[in-house]
Structure 1
């Protein structure tokens, strides 16, 4: 055992000395691997960063939530669009019935909410345009993330009593009340005066331009319904949605989804053979599509990058054949002194692996430098998984590129090898 470890260590030493003695050739050899690893890991890094940024942009949909709506988020193939167009939208009455019918403890909250964009808010001589106005029920904070940084959330009495109170986003607060505390201040929109009771935490821009709380204003649902005439068919005006937050005891939300489907069918009086005239949507639907899309993009990028890796592998193999030829005489001397075949094999195999590891590490370093390039809303990050993948690919290429030259060197006849010039 000790002899094997000693010979293995000596193989490493011989390989390292060979690389140092031909420094220029070593650098030129690892350039191909560097370019290949850079191409592959850079593609994976960009794909992972894009997917992470897209998922973060969609975080406003919430986690473990089932939404009741008129339209499905993912359309089934060969389904006529008019079938969905004629569906009724969820109503406040259905929300209250669903809230009563769902099993207590089977969910963390049931909420109805509705949104309308393109609103203008005024406070004194200040105004802000193109803002979102959202009417929400009391349990909306349990269904979706409502990060109130200043002030407070609505009380149940304010929501049920349709009070003129509002929770505004950071951008709205900065434009309407520069330099002063927004909480307790008034603003006007759609002919109604509102009092600010809270300010949401600033989120900034996201990659997809998805809805942001910065330009969003939350008001009680009943207050919103008093301002806008909500259509029961959803063909005009804003259409409400109902969201139910699943409990931790139902990880897949299968029980909640089945219970919601039965309750909605009962509420709408559907017969057993009638199709659902509502859609149950989950953020996982879109997340699944995103995963498939980026998997295809990542595969395409890996195939393209593998061509650069292939060129690097051929370069390493060529250099290893040259190295074997140059050191044939030394191999013969080593074997005549008792060196085993595996000692010679490991010596050249380790040299090839060293070359590829150095090239791979250089490629990963270049990818890491790319993460500092500003790309607007897109944030690049190099994950530990991609670093590990790059190093493993480098080792694999080293083994594949060096195995044939190493085997040829290990099988040389010592008498013939000593006479080589």
Structure 2
């Protein structure tokens, strides 16, 4: 007896939202990275009605809900807590990081959960658009790195005041971060296409991104590509045992970060690193050493959300390390919830790896790349950076579904 194949439900609306996100990725990434928050918020808002019949994963959401709830509670003792009266003035709403976290959790979470329901057909179109966008980001950052941000300056000066060349180079370097995170889903798509020049195409995209990062002075994307590559190769070769090993390793990064820093200072490791590290890393070491000592004072509850901004030049805006910032501001509970969330992510990747090592390798590489960049560069609460994490999760789903029938 021949069983009829049940046709896959069409998801044109979700496919359109995914294509929109991927079209905006190179434009926003190169010109205005901060707008990733607006793009993902819009996608989440428009996709939310499709979640009525879906079952969103509860465990990771629970960890994030507890984390955000604790951030709200910490306003009671945070030296950076604004007055509630400031909510009357729109320009001051930006100061309420904890309030923004509530909105971001809802909107970014809706975007990720909804687009996970996309059909394979919709994902294939979104995947092609993503591949073109990432290739464009790699090419434009490389070209503008060679030209000392001349292209960016021309575009910027059309609508705003002239920008200094050195600041323009920093702006161009921001495009390398989404390029690195979405590089691994693009590798998965190209790998599934199985054409003769796929390895050359992958290598060219990688070279452009790395060269662009180097020319514009961005170290973290290069480190992310290297360590993400290790995770990709380890998952492809070893499989599920390698990803299982990442779970305690990543959890330890969040749980033991301040202890490692304090040991590094007292053992003389930091003093040795000061002698060999470049200036930017020397600055990070100073911040981390100062942060480690502050964490000890309020290790359980933390100093409160956004407290990093209140210590003057010793910590300019944030700690340049996600784990240390979580410990400093939200204490042991905040670090534990972050560790639990990423442990769940990696646990899910173990399942993906069991079904396809290619999918598992992609997801492991993206996760490691995100953690590396977050551990070296940005504040943990920056809305565009959190949005980029949601976009990376969507990209993994797009690549997995668009490659499923080809691999």
TM-score class normalised by the smaller sequence: under 0.3
Structure with greater Cα Rg: 1
Larger strand proportion of the pair = 1
